[in-house]
Amino acid sequence: MQRDRREFVKSAALLGAAGRAMAAAEIPRRPLGRTGLQVSILGLGGAPVGRLPQEKDAVEVVRRCYDLGINYFDSAAAGAYGLSQARYGLALKGLRDKVVLATKTRHRTATQAQLDLDQSLANLRTDHLDLYQLHNIINDEDIEFIFGPRGVLEMVEKARKAGKVRFVGVTGHTDPKVLNRILERYPFDSVLMPLSVADGANRQKSFEAETVAFARKKGVAVIAMKTLSAGALLRKGVASLQESLHYVWSLPVSTAILGCGSVDQVESDVAAARSFRPLAAADVDALRRRAAGFELAGLEPWKRHLPAGDPGAYLAD
C-alpha cells in the first residue's frame, strides 16, 4: 500500500537541522541472530517495488536503498514480490557478496516450494539465498503440513545441504501462539512478524508481548514487518513515521522491512534510521497508550483468521 508522500515530506522536515546533520551518518547494523550476518536495521520489502509500472523506476528505488546503506532485501516468489525479485536481480547485479537476500514461500509441499525456490534463485541471479522463510503460518494444520511427508521442510533441508539456502526462517501475520508453537518444532534462524505501535497496544493478541521474548530466548533473530500497519498509522494520525519506526527499532529486532515505491520514501525511511536513538521506556509506554485509543482491529486486519489465498493476509507496508 502506497504511503502518502506528504507524510514523508512532513516527517523529513521535522528532522530539521538534526536530520541534516544525520545525512552523513550510516544506518546502524545489528546481528541477524546467530547467523553471523550483520544487517541494516532498515530493510527493503519487495511488494511495492514489484508493483511499480516501470522497471527503471523500480531499479532506481532498489539501487538507492543500496547506495544509502540498506543491505537487507526481502522478497517472495508470488505476485508483485515475484516481480520484485527480478528487479532486485537487475539492480543488485555484481553486489551479491555485499547484500543479504531473503525470500519466502507460501507453499506447504516440497514439490511446489521447489518450483518457488528455483524461480527465486533465477530471478535474483544468485546460486544461493541467505535466508529462506516459510511464509504466513496461520494454524496448526499449516504446521503439520510443513513437517509432514513431502512437506516443504523436506525440500528446505535438501536445499540447505546443497548450499542453495544458508539459513531458514518462519513468518506469521495472524497468531503469535501459532508462531510460538512452530518455533518449538524446529531450530529456525529467524522469525518475521508484525511489530508496531498498534501491536504493542493490543492486549488481546500481541506479537511483541507473546513472541519476541520467546524467540530471543531461543536465539532466533526477530525481523519486523508492518511497522506502519500498512500505512494506517500515518493515515489515521496514530504516530508519525519517525515515531513508528523508532518504536520498533527500540525493540530487540534485527531489522524492520518496509516497502518503498519511490526514492522519496527510501530517503525518508533512511533519514529515520540514521537518526535513531532507542526510546526511553516512558516514551514507548506513551506511544502504546496513544495507539490504544484507536480501533486496533482496523489497524491490524491480518490478525483475523483469513482463508488460504485471501490477499488480505498479505497486505504490505
Q: What is the mean pLDDT of residues 138-147?
A: 95
Whether residue 238 is predicted with pLDDT greater than 60 in this model: the reply is: yes
Q: What is the mean pLDDT of residues 92-117?
A: 96
**pLDDT tier at 237, thresholds 50, 70, 90:** very high
* Confidence (pLDDT) at 25: 82
Q: What is the mean pLDDT of residues 171-197?
A: 97
Question: Helices 263-274 and 55-67 sit at what angle, rounded to 10 degrees?
Answer: 20
* Confidence (pLDDT) at 308: 46
* Confidence (pLDDT) at 3: 53
* Confidence (pLDDT) at 314: 42
- Greatest Cα pair distance, the chain, in angstroms, is 59
* Confidence (pLDDT) at 305: 58
Closest CA to 111 of 163, 162, 158: 158
* Least confident among 31-40, 72-81, 160-169, 252-261: 72-81
Whether residue 198 is predicted with pLDDT greater than 80 in this model: the reply is: yes
CA dist 257 → 73, 83, 155, 162 (Å):
8, 17, 26, 28
The tens digit of pLDDT for each residue in 287-296 reads 999 999 999 9
Whether residue 317 is predicted with pLDDT greater than 50 in this model: the reply is: no
State the pTM of this model. Answer: 0.90
Closest CA to 188 of 215, 213, 152, 226: 215
* Mean per-residue pLDDT of the chain: 91
User: Could you give the percent of the chain with pLDDT greater than 70?
Assistant: 88
**pLDDT tier at 147, thresholds 50, 70, 90:** very high
The strand ranges marked E within the chain are 29-31, 38-40, 42-45, 72-74, 100-105, 129-134, 165-171, 190-194, 221-225, 255-259
Q: What is the mean pLDDT of residues 205-225?
A: 97
Closest CA to 193 of 252, 234, 107: 252
The tens digit of pLDDT for each residue in 56-96 reads 999 999 999 999 999 999 999 887 778 999 999 999 999 99
CB atoms within 10 A of CB 295: 8
Q: How far is CA 4 from the centre of its chain?
A: 20
Whether residue 252 is predicted with pLDDT greater than 60 in this model: the reply is: yes
Question: Helices 140-147 and 152-161 sit at what angle, rounded to 10 degrees?
Answer: 50
CB atoms within 10 A of CB 79: 16
Burial letters 101-118, b for 16+ CB under 10 A, else e: bbbbbbbbbbebbbebbe
What is the CATH class of 29-266+282-292? alpha beta
CB atoms within 10 A of CB 213: 12
**pLDDT tier at 23, thresholds 50, 70, 90:** low
